[in-house]
Amino acid sequence: MTSTSSHKSASISWPAPAKLNLFLHVTGQRADGYHELQTLFQFIDHCDYLDFHITDTPDLVLHSNISDSVADSDNLILKAAKSLQRYAQYEGGAHIWLDKLLPMGGGLGGGSSDAATTLVALNALWKTNLSPSKLAKIGLTLGADVPVFINGFSAFAEGVGEKLITVEPTESWYLVIVPDVHVSTKDIFQDPDLPRNTPKVDINTLMTQKWTNDCQKLVTTRHPQVANALSWLVEYAPSRMTGTGACVFGEFTHSQQALDALAELPADMRGFVAKGMNKSPLQIRLEQL
């Protein structure tokens, strides 16, 4: 492919947004080891960004600012591209650039979001024309959180997180604190002390009761950095952990309230302010095509 045609096939950056679990209940464990959940996903306007140049050759090449920390064989972006290539029997390939802004191991879903954006963007750019449900099916083989990012709307999720019902929680402002620790989702879900028997509740009840995260107590016990961030943040706003951590978030009505709290953040903590979004930045980008 000539440089001119390659340039024409380049895209404007595609966002891979973070998510928050506004609540997370572990309601059981299946025979295959996976956990049954009830959770509420909402996106925030804090994203990784990916660029794609499609090529005539089948090679898939990732250029990234984190190349040294994740082996290509483990990288969800390359796994997603290869899965789509294989499923659609597409003969071309792509060069992919990742600008990694979301913390790894933070419970914000960065890796899953990167995979989802790769599937959605390449499906559009390669013109493979798979439906969102087909993309979600591919995405589920990469990770339980990938389908919600492909779906593109805030959702109440059950099963392992793949059974989605679109909902519209309040689009609050959030102060997200990023503790300096990597929490392994696998370790948390394998820990015998994790509660696994929270009663299932219907969606209408869940949307109106006080929201909690069943993983929070275990993670704060194991990781003092998470406990410290939470105990500081809860002085300013209703706060809890997202996913299996490490990130914690406080919920504010106005952006200025969140920014004022951020200005008080202790020197040994880092964080950012973000807006809750019930329509994903990725979905908005897709609609602009």
Which residues are marked as active site?
Answer: 19, 145
Q: How far is CA 102 from the centre of its chain?
A: 9
Strands (E), the chain: 14-29, 35-55, 60-64, 93-99, 155-158, 163-166, 173-177, 239-241, 248-252, 271-277
Residues of the chain by 3-state class (helix, strand, coil), percent to 5: 35, 30, 40
Residue partners of 7: CB distance under 8 A and separation at least 6: none
**Torsional sign, CA 48, 142, 139, 82:** positive
